[in-house]
Structures are given as C-alpha cells and as structure tokens.
Amino acid sequence: MDVTIRISGAQGEGVESAGRLVALSLARLGYHVFAFRQYASIIKGNPAMFYQIRASDRKIYSHGNWNSYDVLVALNKNALAAYEGRAKYVIYDAADRQSPQRAGEVPVPLTEYALKAGNKIMRNTVAVGALMGLLGVDLSILAELLRREFGEKGERIAEQNIQAAEMGMRHAAKAAGSVWGLSRAGERRLLMSGAEALAVGSILAGMRFYAAYPMTPASPIMHFLAEAGPKFGVAVVQAEDEIAAMNMVVGASFAGVRAATGTSGGGFDLMHEGFGLAAMIETPAVVFLSQRGGPSTGLPTETEQADLLMSLAPSHGEYPHAVIAPYSIEDGLYAAAKAFNVAEKYQMPVVVLTDLYFNESLATVDDIDWGRFKIERGQLVTSPVVWEEYKRYKLTDDGVSPRTVPGIPGGMHVATSDEHDERGDVITDRHLPEVRRAMHDKRMRKLAKVAEEMEGPASFGSGEIALVAWGSTAMPVLDLLSHRRDLGAVVFRDLYPLNREAAAKALDGGRALIDVELNREGQLALYLKRELGVEFKRRVLKWWGEPFSVDELSELV
Amino acid sequence: MASVKVQVDRKPMDFAAARAPIWCPGCGDYGILEALRRALAEVGARNEDVVLVSGIGCSSQLPHFMKTYGVHGIHGRILPVATAIKISNPRLTVIGVGGDGDGYGIGLNHFLHAARRNVGVVYIVSNNQVYGLTTGQMSPTTLKGVKTKTTPYGSIDSPVNPLALALSAGATFVARGFSGDVAHLAQIVSEALRHRGFALVDVLSPCVTFNRINTYDWFRARVYKLESAGHDPADFEQAYRRALEWPTLDPYGKIPIGVFYRREDLPAYEEEVARLLGGRSPSEAPLELTREQLAELMSHFG
Ligand SMILES: Cc1ncc(C[n+]2csc(CCOP(=O)(O)OP(=O)(O)O)c2C)c(N)n1
Ligand code: SF4
Ligand SMILES: [Mg+2]
C-alpha cells in the first residue's frame, strides 16, 4: 500500500490544517507517513498552495511523485485546474463544476455541508471527511483528533467539525465507495516535522537555552521550544536580531548551559562574527542553519541547499568547527544530539545544516534509539581549581583544554576574542608571534580529533551508478532506490571535518558517480573534488525552489 | 530573586588580577577600574561569582585587570552575552563594561533591548566621546562641531543622549558618574550592583590621548551632583528633565552626575524566565529527562 494525496487550495483556506489532520490520522493508523507543504510568502491569497501527504505500509523517506498521485482534494477552481490531470480521484466542491467530466471525479457539496454544520470555514473538514471516505478510514480517528485540537473550550466547534467530516465521508462513500479500505497497519506512529525533530533532539541533548530571531524555515524550532521547552527547563529568548542571538548562545554556554540558535542564510550571515567568537574563545555553540533559496531574501518559503560552501567557512580567519546535515527527519533527532556533544567536547561551534524541505515536512519516526542521546561534556571542570595554576587555554596534544564556568572557585579567567595566551590574557598589546602560533595551532589541532568522530557517508543499494547526495536530498533519493535496482546511493551527513578515509572508500569502487543537489553549482561535488579529488560523471541539479521528487529523479538519472 | 552569596571583609585589591592595566597614563579608565573594585568589595562579592563582559575598545580591556570571570567578546555585543549569562545563572553578578562606541554606536540596538527587558546586568559605559582604540575617530557621543580624525572640519552629527535613551527604553536604574571622582563613582556602582534589574552607569571618562576637548578640567568645571541638588530619583519626569540637561539642551552647560532614576518594584528578566521555567534557572534544570518527562515530550507527536 502506498497512497499519495494532494490537498490544494488558496493560502488561508485551510489546506494546512487539513493536511496535518490527514497526516496525523494515517500515522495513528500505523502507516509510515510523509507530508510536504508548498506555499508562498504571503499570509492569505496564493490560489493553489498544496499539502502532499503520502502513506505507506513500508518505510518511506519523501513525499513521492510530483506528476502522479492518487487523490487530489481541490478546495477551489484554481487548484482543480492546476492539478487535476495528475490524480486518479479528484474531490472538489460540487459548486465549482456543473457535472463530472472524467471518471474518478467525486464532487462533494463542500460549502453546502459546511454551512449546514454551522460555518463555511469548515469546508476543509468536509473535504477531509470525503477523503477519509475514499480511503475507508473510520470517522472515530478524525473525531478524536478534532476533539483534541479544539480542546474542552472548543467542544461545540469540535462537534460541528465532526459533523462536517461525517457528511463529507458519507457523501464520498456513497458516490465512490471506500476505494482503499484502509485498516490499521500497526501501532500508532509518532509524526513530527524536521524542525521538531531538531528541537526534541536538543532537549534530549540537555540544551537549556535557545535564542533566535524569527526566520523561515527555522522559526518552527523556536515555536516548538517556546511552547514545550519551559517544562524541561529550556529558556527561550526571542532576540532583537541574529547578532544578539548568536552572542547570547555564547553567553549562556560560557555560563555552562548548553545553548543553541537557529536561523536561515540571511540570519546566519549576521551571526558570522559571533560564530568566530565561539571558536576563538573555545565555547561550545550549536547553530541550526535552515536553508531556503538565496541570495539575499531570496525564496523565503522555498527550499534550496546552496549554503553548504558557506557553512564550511562562515566567519573570517581560520578556526575549527563542524557541520552535520541530517538526511532524514528521524536523523534530525540524532544529528542535534551529536552536535551538542561535539560542540562541548571540542569547545567549538557546530552547524546543523538543514533546509525548508527538511524543517517543514512531517514524517513518522521509527523506534527511537534512546541510547544515542548520551550527554558527553568533555573537559568541563566542576570542582575548584587553583587560580595561580589554572590555564583555561592550556596547550594540549589534542588542543582541548579544561574549561571552568563562572561559580567554580579558582577558575577565573577571561575568554578573549583577541589572540590570547594560555591563561586567556590578551597578547595583542605586544607582538608575540610564538604565542600566536602556538594558540592558533592548538585550536586547529582539534579538527583532527573531531574528524575521527565524524561518520563516513552511508552507502545504500549496490547498483552500478551511485547517486551522491547530502542532507534532505537523500530523502527522495532513498525512495527512488526502492524501485530502481540499477542505482545505489552515497549519502553524506557529517560533512565537516570530513572523515576522509571513509569518504574516499565509499566513493571508490569503480561506480559512476552522479551528484544530486538542490543548488546550481554542485557544491558537494566541488567540495569533494577539492578534498578528495573525486570526479563526478554527471550532476543533477535544481535551484528553483522545490525538492526533487521520486518520479522526477527517476527520469533524470 | 536568586540569592547572591556575599562574603564580608572584602578589599578592592582582592579583585586585582596579576596583570597591571595597560591604558595610557591618566586615562579615565583607571578611575572606573578602581571604583569597580571598591564597589565589589563594598557589596561583598566573591571573585568566582562575578562575570565581567566587555566588547572591543580601550575600556573593554578592563576585565583583564580583574580577578573575576570575564568574556572579552566582540565589538558592540556586550549586552547579549551578559543577558544570556544572567538568565542562565542568576546567582552570578554580571557586569558589562565597554566604550561609548561599543555601546551607543554599533551596540545601540542591544542597549535599548537590555533596558526594556530589565535584565539584571550592571552596564558601565566608559564614555570618552571618542573612539580610543582605533586612534581617535568621532563617536556617537562626540559633541557637534568637535574635530576628530574623521571629522576634521568639526562633527556635523548630533550626539546621542544615552541617559534619555535608557529612560525612554524602560531602564529601571539610570546613573552617570565621573572618573575624576572615584569615591562618588564607586558609590553609584555599589548601588547599581544592589539594584534589581538593568542598571546603566554612564561614566564621563576622559581619553587623555585623543580627546583634547572633554578633559578632566572641562568636566570638573561642569559637573554637579544630583543628590546635592534635591533631585528625587523616584520621579521619572524629573529624571528625564535632568537627563536632557546635557548634552541635549546645552552641550557646553552644566552636567548632572549621580543617580537619575531608580525603581525596584519591577521583576528582573531572569526572574521572569525562572518563573516560566517553574522557579528555576536553566543552569539548575537537570540535563537528563525523567521517564515521565520523556513521555510528556513525546506526547506532542501522536
Ligand atoms: C565589527 C568591528 N568593527 C570595527 C572594529 C574596530 N574597532 C575596535 S574598537 C572600536 C571603537 C572603540 O571605541 P569605544 O567603544 O568608544 O571604546 P574606547 O576605545 O574609546 O574605550 C572600533 C571601531 C571592530 N573591532 N569590530
Ligand atoms: S587612547 Fe584614550 S581611552 Fe585609550 S587608553 Fe589612551 S587615554 Fe585611555
Ligand atoms: Mg570611546
């Protein structure tokens, strides 16, 4: 079983809540679900935004196909005109078309039923009910979700919505029958967005401070943390700008609290100086860099992967840091947790690199491996030290020095953005090339150790042709592999510092390599060529604001 | 409020680092350093519980001469760093110290936001009306008409009025001191350290190398103490009028020093954060979740 549904309508017409409702219902029934939303940077209007929901009885990673799906739910005429030729079944408002033109059309009096239930705005609920009728899903699941959504205070509204859904469901079942007859596929599955996975991973990693300035597609991380965080001791500060957010992360972290910020490209541009500060004063920091189309304001609500090269060298000067790009929504949980450990053990800033497609899509997650959230604090000093002897930036073999935090007697030192000596004293009032050299070397030495902790790329399939991808592009690539046995895939997640040996091994083996990325220049290919001299046979690139789909990739490779 | 631990019999030199200051002889920043040490001794602070946060500039070197924790961060970003430290661990005494360029120029945005949040940070600004470290350019507090390296024909920019800005942004403690009167300045800083919420201490602090106009003598001829002038720091309107006296109304007239305004009845930002977190600060929240908490966290996703 593998069903794909596209719900389309004007922005503000309820596509969003309908999509969530459908995705949640199917996850509750035990299906693997993936849901992707395409929308525009406008609050109301945009005639045909859509939510595409895919459900399957086996593991899936992406929203599936662009050009053919099973059901279209068109909430208005524009949506009907834009997408109808691609779906086997079309649910639309009977008021929008006099009589059906093709087989599979299921006109439902959406507006009429909504009004009957109490309010026109419930058209989307009628449509969801009709869709559930086609799928053969029981009303009780919907009813439960609607009651939860509107809460006790909204009891009446919930009941009206349930009535609206029921009318839609009866109508569709009568007109077309229960086509799919879906029954329970297993235990209820957890459904979360990529942004939520990052937030949950962070809470599990012990993050207790988050500061950010709103920016799509990073904002949902802050939204979730603001709501759920306080119960777990997470302070959330909406900073005055991204410069403040980054510097707040440094401050909280200096005080011994695990801290992070999140933003998109433009906000990260503003953070660069503070990012370098974290590296210079060897203070842990995690940045969730959620890409969207650039440059400048770019495509605020559309996806892209064009900040890879920037993430490799954001701030000025040479300094150590790490970049991790989760390749599935579930992996977002683990990537976040790893970022905090790497940041704290090596006392450096870490970028968790995702994009809009990742952050905003919803996916069911499999059994979570709780063992992967072990908190490692590295060289954190928790008992008094002797001030006269303590060297915060002691030169060590691996470059990591014991770190005290305020409150620890004897551990007083100044964390200095200027070049400094082992005690943290500023040296820039003199010319001390030996000290500069030793301190710079010390910081850079950490990279070798971090590289040992970086996982090599994951290899999938064994075809003669290997698709090489990173981050969220791996999601449609992995789905493609399940019906293209001629293909394999190499997926990069821990991008920097590179585990060179493992990377070289995964890319070797005589297979033809195809670079698949959501940018115009093929940034991963450029990076791998620079680092390992890897040659790609072809590049499959896309830079117009939408993720790859499985059917599209299948054609392209 | 989180209780700050105190220790009696503290002496100013208990806060001195091994390293001697590196400012030009006569620099106003020596006065700030001495006043700060005296004030910390006066309030009985413990070295390990004090964090000094500075930016970039001559004045921002100050933490290096103190035996306390410190972050000598980047130019203009003192207050975001300080804010986060205070939220994370309200038991710490968090003091920001930097220049007029750092705080009223590149960092002005943060200044207004720290004031409106009322975060419990004492912010001492060494206001020498010039960019010292970068060798004498105009600063946001340079008076109109003054010649500097970047204003060779006299500045055409009107100066900012930091005290009036702080008051209008909602600061709950607003004061001005003078490096040439260390005892008075130390008194102001002690009061700022005891204040609940954000405290601005703007300090007239001559740069003897690059500012030949606003010298010690220039200030001595002009300053007067608010407390001797019958000023009531509880009266906001009076405070605002006094704040406008210099430099807004008369850039070359009398200059009030002392505490312009204070109120102690509003919660500090870190208290508000702790309230949201159920009465604890982020540094007090356990890193690992209990079983029940884990179940609660995951309940968002069904
Ligand atoms: C982002 C950035 N821009 C510019 C500078 C150069 N810079 C260093 S200190 C300074 C101004 C110092 O003036 P002020 O803050 O008044 O401190 P003072 O030296 O007068 O105490 C400038 C512009 C910098 N370090 N960083
Ligand atoms: S240049 Fe001016 S501000 Fe800087 S140390 Fe010398 S006197 Fe002080
Ligand atoms: Mg200055």
- pLDDT tops 90 at residue A98: no
A117/A245 same-domain check: no
Q: Whose CA is nearest to atom 5 of ligand 1?
A: B75
Mean pLDDT of B261-282: 98
A293/A323 same-domain check: yes
* A417 vs B73, B79, B301: nearest CB: B73
A184 in a domain, yes or no? no
pLDDT of residue B14: 97
B26 in a domain, yes or no? yes
DSSP A408: S
The Å distance, Cα B77 to ligand 2 centre, comes to 21
* B73 vs A259, A277, A365: nearest CB: A277
Each residue's pLDDT tens digit, B73-130: 999 999 999 999 999 999 999 999 999 999 999 999 999 999 999 999 999 999 999 9
* B297 vs A211, A228, A249: nearest CB: A228
- pLDDT tops 90 at residue A327: yes
How far is CA B215 from its chain centroid?
21
Mean of per-residue pLDDT scores for chain B: 97
Range of lowest pLDDT (A93-107, A121-135, A252-266, B97-111): A93-107
B122 in a domain, yes or no? yes
A476/A436 same-domain check: no
A137 in a domain, yes or no? yes
A207/A279 same-domain check: yes
The Å distance, Cα B99 to ligand 2 centre, comes to 11
pLDDT of residue B3: 64
pLDDT of residue B297: 97
Radius of gyration of chain B (CA): 20
Mean pLDDT of A311-315: 97
A315 in a domain, yes or no? yes
**pLDDT interval class at B2 (50, 70, 90):** low
CB contact under 8 A, B48 and A415: no
Each residue's pLDDT tens digit, A465-505: 999 999 999 999 999 999 899 999 999 999 999 999 999 99
DSSP string, B67-122: SSEEEE--TT-HHHHHHHHHHH-TTSEEEEEEEHHIIIIITHHHHHHHHHHT-SEE
Residues composing chain A: 557
Kindly state the percentage of chain A with pLDDT values over 70: 100
CB contact under 8 A, B282 and A190: no
pLDDT of residue A510: 86
Each residue's pLDDT tens digit, A11-43: 989 999 999 999 999 999 999 999 999 988 887
Each residue's pLDDT tens digit, A474-484: 999 999 999 89
Minimal Cα distance from A430: which residue of B? B22
B5 in a domain, yes or no? no
Which of A150, A152, A258, A144 is closest to A211 using CA atoms?
A258
A439/A480 same-domain check: no
Each residue's pLDDT tens digit, A386-435: 999 999 999 999 999 999 999 999 999 999 999 999 999 999 999 999 99
The CB density around residue A162, as the number of other CB atoms within 10 Å, is 22
A182 in a domain, yes or no? no
Each residue's pLDDT tens digit, B4-17: 788 889 999 999 99
pLDDT of residue A152: 84
Helix/strand/coil (H/E/C) assignment for every residue in A61-119? CCCCCCCCEEEEEECCHHHHHHHHHHEEEEEEEHHHCCCCCCCCEEEECHHHHHHHHCC
* Chain B partners within 8 Å of A274 (Cβ): 74, 77
> Looking at the complex, does the CB of residue A434 fall below 8 Å from at least one CB of chain B?
no
- pLDDT tops 70 at residue A540: yes
B212 in a domain, yes or no? yes
Which of A149, A176, A203 is the last residue before a domain boundary?
A176
- pLDDT tops 50 at residue A461: yes
Q: Identify the residues whose C-beta falls under 6 Å from ligand 1.
A: B 56-59, 75, 98-102, 126, 128, 130-134, 139
B3 in a domain, yes or no? no
Each residue's pLDDT tens digit, B217-227: 999 999 999 99
* A445-450: Cβ within 8 A, 24+ apart: A445/A397, A445/A398, A445/A399, A446/A320, A446/A346, A446/A347, A446/A348, A446/A398, A446/A399, A446/A400, A447/A320, A447/A497, A448/A398, A448/A497, A449/A346, A449/A398, A449/A399, A449/A400, A450/A320, A450/A322, A450/A342, A450/A346, A450/A348, A450/A497
CB contact under 8 A, A247 and B80: yes
The Å distance, Cα A429 to ligand 1 centre, comes to 15
Hey, is A513 helix, strand or coil?
A: strand
The Å distance, Cα B203 to ligand 2 centre, comes to 14
The Å distance, Cα A538 to ligand 3 centre, comes to 57
pLDDT of residue B226: 98
pLDDT of residue A377: 98
Which two three-digit tokens encode residue A88?
A: 């086997």
A183 in a domain, yes or no? no
**pLDDT interval class at B1 (50, 70, 90):** very low
Establish whether the linkage from the previous residue to B159 is cis, with ω within 30° of 0.
Answer: no
CATH number for the domain including A487?
3.40.50.920
Which two three-digit tokens encode residue A232?
A: 């777990």
Which of A373, A391, A411 is the last residue before a domain boundary?
A373
Domains held by chain B: number:
1
Q: Is B23 close to ligand 2, i.e. is its CB under 6 Å away?
A: yes
**pLDDT interval class at A175 (50, 70, 90):** very high
**pLDDT interval class at B229 (50, 70, 90):** very high
Minimal Cα distance from B109: which residue of A? A240
A318/A289 same-domain check: yes
Domains held by chain A: number:
4
Kindly state the percentage of chain A with pLDDT values over 90: 94
A57/A202 same-domain check: no
Mean pLDDT of A118-140: 96
The CB density around residue A311, as the number of other CB atoms within 10 Å, is 23
The domain containing residue B63 runs over which residues? 12-301
A402/A507 same-domain check: no
Mean pLDDT of B62-70: 98
A391 in a domain, yes or no? yes
CATH number for the domain including A34?
3.40.920.10
CATH number for the domain including B203?
3.40.50.970
B interface mutation test: which of A26, A149, A248 has the most B CBs within 10 A? A248
- Quote the Cα angle for A192-A333-A447, to 5°: 150
A228/A285 same-domain check: yes
* Alpha helices, H only, A368-465: 433-453
- Quote the Cα angle for A365-A306-A333, to 5°: 20
Q: Whose CA is nearest to atom 10 of ligand 1?
A: B57
A368/A401 same-domain check: no
A466 in a domain, yes or no? yes
Bridge partners, residue A460, by sequence: A489
* Chain A partners within 8 Å of B289 (Cβ): 203-204, 232
A480/A448 same-domain check: no
A103 in a domain, yes or no? yes
Q: Whose CA is nearest to atom 25 of ligand 1?
A: B75
Question: What stretch of H or E contains A144?
Answer: helix A139-150
Mean of per-residue pLDDT scores for chain A: 96
The domain containing residue A533 runs over which residues? 458-556
